[in-house]
Amino acid sequence: MKRIAVLTSGGDAPGMNAAIRAVVRKAISEGIEVYGINHGYAGMVAGDIFPLTSASVGDKIGRGGTFLYSARYPEFAQVEGQLAGIEQLKKFGIEGVVVIGGDGSYHGAMRLTEHGFPAVGLPGTIDNDIVGTDFTIGFDTAVSTVVDALDKIRDTSSSHNRTFVVEVMGRNAGDIALNAGIAAGADDICIPEKEFKFENVVNNINKGYEKGKNHHIIVLAEGVMTGEEFATKLKEAGYKGDLRVSVLGHIQRGGSPTARDRVLASRMGARAVELLRDGIGGVAVGIRNEELVESPILGTAEEGALFSLTTEGGIKVNNPHKAGLELYR
């Protein structure tokens, strides 16, 4: 391949810039030209595509967000959108594309591959909910951000003998809650992957105060319910003490990436270019047991593919992600 493109799609994640930088610098070192696509698949369809140089990615490795902008673009689920995107890429002489994003972004990459256009997916999301990888780009930074916030909440919680419900991101996955909760010494962690009873949480809180604790921090993954709903149910289950809800929100998506995310993004970005250089598309890069791995995006579960098509034309996730629970068994 002589010319490739890179885009970021879905919710942004710290380390996306580091991944773009790695794609650009590795490609240039391989004699491949790189184009940037602004605003994800929306920009692809609109032809918002421009050349990137080594200098374009200078001073970007430590920056949060994505300088290529990101967007959620459900229209790309339609064949017309996919074909229009490919037409634009061809107009610019682009022969392969690196897609950095979450599972919605992978679906787009899968469709490009189905139409015979080589695409390589890199997992970029704070949620850590992508199949085919132990860790996603941005997760480590988000966990650090949440730990920092929990430490601060613990200060005020202890000063007032208050119970806090801290709602953290993770639409369907409890990885941020689980990891940050453990790192910050939370008293309860509630995630969508594990059932719990409100009565038990109430007992746990009461027991803690009886033992002389001066705070109680509950980390709640948003995939369970909102912090406000949780607080209401806690009261319904008999909790009578002082209670506050704190929703950390989008601060979890911002900030300078940690060293771990920068290294992960750099390794994955370089691997994506090697794959396209060797004419390989339709795969996603992941990291398992610290080794970079590739999985076919679409195929059968036996082939190790991340997604299969159902007989009704839907998409089935093979080996669905199960939060980081195995890590702590």
CB of 26 to ligand F6P, least distance (A): 25
Dist CA 255 CA 257 (whole Å) = 6
Binding window for ligand F6P (CB under 6 A); candidates: 89-97, 114-122, 169-177, 193-201: 169-177
Number of residues that bind ligand F6P (CB under 6 A): 9
| Residue 253 binds ligand F6P (CB under 6 A) | yes
**Is 148 tagged catalytic?**
no
Residue of 103, 127, 187, 188 marked catalytic: 127
Pick the closer one to ligand F6P by CB: 253 or 262. 253
The residues in 115-144 that bind ligand F6P, with binding defined as CB under 6 A, are 125-127
| Residue 170 binds ligand F6P (CB under 6 A) | yes
Q: Check: CB of residue 255 under 8 Å from CB of residue 263.
A: no
The residues in 1-60 that bind ligand F6P, with binding defined as CB under 6 A, are 11
Dist CA 72 CA 102 (whole Å) = 10
Residue 163 parent element (H or E): strand 163-168
Strands 188-190 and 315-317: unpaired
Pick the closer one to ligand F6P by CB: 32 or 173. 173
Q: Check: CB of residue 280 under 8 Å from CB of residue 118.
A: yes
Using DSSP's 3-state secondary structure scheme, residue 309 falls into: strand
∠ CA 65-68-71, nearest 5°, is 80
CB of 169 to ligand F6P, least distance (A): 3
| Residue 171 binds ligand F6P (CB under 6 A) | yes
Distances in whole angstroms, Cα of residue 272 to Cα of each of 8, 104, 278: 14, 18, 10
| Residue 169 binds ligand F6P (CB under 6 A) | yes
Q: Which residues are catalytic, by number?
A: 127
Which positions touch ligand F6P (CB under 6 A)? Answer: 11, 125-127, 169-171, 222, 253
